[in-house]
Structure formats: C-alpha cells, structure tokens
Amino acid sequence: MARHCNTAGPCKPAFHDMLPPERRLPEVRALVEQQAYFVVHAPRQVGKTTALLSLAKSRTAEEVPLLALSKALESNGSGAFVFSAPGPLRHRAFSRAMKRLRWVLLMVLLPCCKAPPAPRPAVTAAPTGLYWGRWGDVPEGVRVQVWVHGASGRLRGTWELPPWHGEFAGVRDAQGVYAVDWREESVVAGATMRASQLQLRVNGAGALTGRLADQPLELVPAGMPATALRPGVWLSRWTGLPPGMGVETVLSRTPDGRWRAAYRYQDREGAFEGDVLERGALSIRWREVSTRGTVAQGAGLLRPSITGMFGTYGVGAEPVGTGFWALEPLGERSP
C-alpha cells in the first residue's frame, strides 16, 4: 500500500506521508521529566493528536519506567467533557477551563507497574589468541597451549596433548554461553577419536570455563605478559618438555631479595633459587628430586624477554649445555 496524505484522524508513519511529529514539540520531553502539566493548543488537523500519540508510544517503549495512557474527551454540548469509554465521567474543573474546545486528548504518564526489562548480559570481546588450558586429561600441575579464534558469535580452537590432537568449535547464544563440540583424535597407530559436547562461559578474568567429561575445564588467556618478575603462578618450559605444554611454577621472593620457585611435573619435584643480576637477569641454581630418589641439579641464566624470562640451563656448575628454560606469568596481560 502506497503512502498518502491523511486528513482524517491521527497519522501513521507506515501508511501516511508525514514529518517526524515529535520535532514539533521540542519542549515536551523536558516537561515530562519535570512531571509538569502542559497543554497543546492549535487549530484542527495540524498534528496535535499525532504528535502526542507518537510521544506516548516512544516514551512507553524507552527503557524508562513510565507508562503513557491517552484518552479522547468530547464535549456533550453543555460544556462538560466525557470519556467515550468505559462510561461517562464529568470533569467540571477541566470543563470550565476549556469550554470553547470541542475535543481534547488527555495523556497521562504514570509510573509503569510492570517490572523494568531485565538487563542484558554484558557482551565481552570474543575470545581470541593463545590460552593455557587445563582439563581432566592434562597432568596435574601442567597447562596446555590452546589457540583460540572467536568472531561473529563463533569460536574455534586447537591444541596438542600427546597422543591427542584436539579441536573444538562453538556458537554463542543470547546469554553469552558457547555451545561447543569438542573433538580429539589420537596421533599414534590405531587412531581413535573422541567427541563431546559442553558449554563454555567467559568469566570476569577473561578465562573460558566449563566441564568436560564431568571434569572442570579452564582456558586462561596468556595475553602479552610483562617481563618484570613478581610473586605468583608462572609457567615453565624447558628442553625435553612436550611441545605446547607448560608447568605451573610458584614464584616467591625472600626477605633478602632473592627469588624462589617450586614446581611438580610427573614424578619429579623441582625448585630453584635465583639472584638478580644487572639488566634484570636471573642467575638460578636448580634441583629436581624424583619419587625414586634420583637427584639432578645444575645452574642456569635467565634474561628478560618479550614473554617473560628466557635463557639456558645446564647440569653442574655451568648455566649452559642442556637446553633452554623459559618462564612467563600465567594469565597476565599488558596494560
């Protein structure tokens, strides 16, 4: 149906050619906010009713606890105004003030009796980047590198945990929860596959959390950590550790300014002590003890790097000869 000019009753934007009606009442919104009375007085068929109905509709639709009610009053010929429904109601004070008008639109803004709409859940940025994951199959004290990409309400990720290669994909619902398909494939002979479905939520720290095979799952964002040493949980990686894995290492500082670290990997418990050198370097003396009583010890030298600390270590007195050692804080982001 084509739009046309209307001269019979209020105009409707979907059917009639018209200008935005509320622009003709620029001061009304301020009067409403002040809970003040106002009268719109103008000749017939110039848009009074259309403007007020538009105001009532827009105010009711806004996230403001107001309900706009409107009703037409018509003169019965004696100067008294009556509601056309639900029944006659004489309003003498109003009638005396407006005897010469034959038609009045009465609009009342009342506190809305219905509960305000529930706040929408906060929309956080889509998870993207390197995460450190932990779930039921991951050994105690270990984290696995998980690469995550999120965009347009969808989420994908991939990881390696020998002998498994894993991928997942999910879609976010209106509440911000991702419904995820989790798949794992063995990379050894006689390959097998495992598949699960789970839900992932983004917590206040930006981590993805859920349950996989009735065990807690957590993916903590790696971000771009600062290089300054500080007490807390760090991740250690060294030569010989499976690719894509990090060992949780608790770093603390002694009263005399030295650094201590403790970690556990498989059947070994390790620790090191470090002295701070020039330009933030750390000279360490490490020691590991296995459940079988085997002891290994040596030295190392770590220097500040883009992701934390990086350097070499060796068995015995020399800090070289065995491989590299890296440290980065867990879940820290650059400001």
pLDDT digit string (tens) for 122-161? Answer: 555 688 999 999 999 999 999 999 999 999 899 999 999 9
153: number of CA atoms within 13 Å, CB side? 8
pLDDT digit string (tens) for 230-250? Answer: 899 999 999 999 889 999 999
For residue 114, pLDDT beyond 60: no
Those residues with Cβ within 8 angstroms of residue 6's Cβ, 6 or more apart along the chain or in another chain? 12, 15, 16, 17, 18
Residue 121: the pLDDT is 55
Tell me the C-alpha distance between 115 and 305, whole Å.
55
Residue 18: the pLDDT is 75
104: number of CA atoms within 13 Å, CB side? 22
Residue 201: the pLDDT is 95
Give residue 225's identity as a one-letter amino acid code. Answer: P
Percent of the chain with pLDDT over 90: 45
Sheet holding 66-75, edge to edge: 81-83, 66-75, 103-111
How do the domains of the chain map onto residue ranges?
A: 21-111, 129-221, 232-329
Tell me the C-alpha distance between 177 and 170, whole Å.
9
pLDDT digit string (tens) for 212-226? Answer: 999 999 999 886 666
Residue 291: the pLDDT is 83
Percent of the chain with pLDDT over 70: 76
48: its two tokens: 């009074």
Rounded alpha-carbon distances, angstroms, from residue 267 to 79, 139, 209: 98, 11, 28
Mean pLDDT of the chain: 80
pLDDT band at 166 (very low <50, low <70, confident <90, very high): very high
3-state secondary structure 207-242: CEEEEECCEEEEEEECCCCCCCCCCEEEEEEECCCC
Residue 7: the pLDDT is 76
255: its two tokens: 């009263």
Residue 79: the pLDDT is 46
**What is the rounded average pLDDT of the residues 51-67?**
67
For residue 119, pLDDT beyond 90: no
According to DSSP, the residues that pair with 274 across neighbouring strands are 259, 284
